[in-house]
Amino acid sequence: MDIKKIKIGSTVYSIKDETARNDIKAVKIPAGNSKKPVYFNANGVPTPSAYTLADACAKGVATSVASGNTNLVTSGAVYSALADKGSYEKGTWPAEFNNGGTVQKTATGEYVKIGDMVYVYVSSGVMTTALTIDRISGLPFPVRNTSPTNISALFYAKGNTNTSNDMKLASSPITSKTVFIGNASYNTLDLWGWYKIS
**Contact footprint for other proteins (CB under 8 A):** 70, 89-94, 100-101, 111, 134-135, 138-142, 145, 157, 168-171, 173, 175-178, 180-183, 197-198
Residue among 11 and 165 whose Cβ is closer to other proteins: 165
Distance between CA atoms of residues 165 and 124, nearest Å: 15
Residue among 32 and 101 whose Cβ is closer to other proteins: 101
Residue among 16 and 168 whose Cβ is closer to other proteins: 168
Q: How far is the CB of 173 from other proteins (least distance, A)?
A: 5
Residue among 40 and 180 whose Cβ is closer to other proteins: 180
Stretch (H or E) spanning 57: helix 53-61
Q: How far is the CB of 28 from other proteins (least distance, A)?
A: 42
On whether the CB atoms of residues 108 and 120 are closer than 8 A, the answer is: no
Q: How far is the CB of 54 from other proteins (least distance, A)?
A: 17
Stretch (H or E) spanning 78: helix 76-85
b/e 67-101 (16+ beta carbons within 10 angstroms → b): eeeeeebeeeeeeeeeeeeeeeeeeebebbbbbee
Residue among 40 and 93 whose Cβ is closer to other proteins: 93
Q: How far is the CB of 60 from other proteins (least distance, A)?
A: 23
Count of alpha carbons within 13 angstroms of residue 46, beta-carbon side: 11
The total of other beta-carbon atoms located within 10 Å of residue 23's CB is 9
Q: How far is the CB of 91 from other proteins (least distance, A)?
A: 3
